[in-house]
Structure 1
């Protein structure tokens, strides 16, 4: 009986390794090979590896929080707060030997083993092999930096101003949505700093669809007090029509939500890809603190977007114009 228990334990351990390390390595192996061969493109990412990565993440999360999940299912404890869930999910990514570490390990393992084999077999090591090795190590290093940045943010979650938590939640949901999208066309994070000591972070995500595109961006202002303002715009385009939503929160002023609907047209000027939107604009409950001035919620907006991509640079941006008809309340 003791032997059977030991064998059962061995099976459980190896099944766990299969569903975590095995899934991640199998998912990342083609990407690691393409990176080491300098042939990686986004088109090489398929649906199955993403499923394996998500499955491994879920297995690690459940394993690390097994008792809490059991207590929750048996109604022995209350459902944890959103911030606590985010903390647990983040730690599933960043814990030693967890998701990010195994992904980085696979990316490093492939070119390293390849070089060692070539050395043992006394085969020539070409410049492209060395470059592939360096690229893989740089990517793994970047992943370690991201891991520690996530850890830093997770430790700061309890200090975030309560007023800003709803916007932070939306931002995290948007990030998770973009990271789990099967066909991601582009996303980036921008960081800026000014002489007053303020830090600005912008997250952008663009996804092309069969008959349109989805785009959003979120701006965050970081000061010594923490995240003092957040602003997000969401755009959905479909066959020349568009619906949009703008919202934000700030310690300095009220940022009321704005709903927009209208038509859009793409065109090209020289080497610039441009778009123009003619929109009906509705501002929800726009008024100042003393309620002395109230603006008409019904309005129009004209938006111009432009983008040019060169070999070593990119120029993009947008211009919004709208008119506020104000009147004094009696």
Structure 2
């Protein structure tokens, strides 16, 4: 995006060059028989240019004597440009331009008896143009800077509009995704729950117990799915609070309901951040799911541990004792865990252990 044009952004070399030009004009007009008063007026005008940025009206005032008493006009023109560049009131600019024109047109009080060598009309035209040129130039540069600022505002407004349009499209996509999840996933899980309930009624006690567990898991999945769909349906511009998220106190229930031979070891301090607790819970959940899918019958060990500045969890499963079921998997679970760990400035590592086992380890820094 283009930077705003400000007078302060001009290089120092420009100021030095302008002052050098003004000083050269004064030096050329200071040769004999020039009077001391003319030379002093010119030098004062050059020195006034050093403060033109902070005190433009003071600088302009001290450059006028050089125009009245001598042919030196460059310091006054530079000071007039500075006034026109930074003044919004055009009446003030016109008054300063008229002051320069009058100062140039009126004969010098130190040269009363010199013969008039120029026509009065030509003198007035020249003096008027001399005062008008820097005033118009300063106003033109000011207008250009204002247009640049306005253009920047228009670009920002357009970008904001594009962001709003993108958020609208995102909201529509989220709503569509929510509908698809509800229509497809919820429907299939509901069928599982219904079939499990029917099997629970008609099956023998061992099978009925398993069917009851399947039904409870299906109901819990439907409940979590509804909590996930609600934020998806929310507008992109409105924050929607998430459903109550799991914590470390929910780990024993998660392990018990997993339906596999799993044990929980270790503990973590009470001051663990809620976000870190959710990450640990999801890591254990993914580890149990992977063990159920890829290593059926394997024993799983969930170990909570802590170091002085790190907390973490390790989920290790042994080799499978039965043939794994051919279930669909895109490995998105581990990818999501790595992204979650990265957001929390932690790390997630996975490795195969001896005799066909698998280990997932999450390390998260403790918050101070």
Higher strand share: 1
Which has the larger share of helix?
Answer: 2
- Work out whether the TM-score is over 0.5: no
TM-score (norm 1): 0.26
Give the TM-score normalised by structure 2: 0.23
Which structure's CA Rg is the greater one? Answer: 2
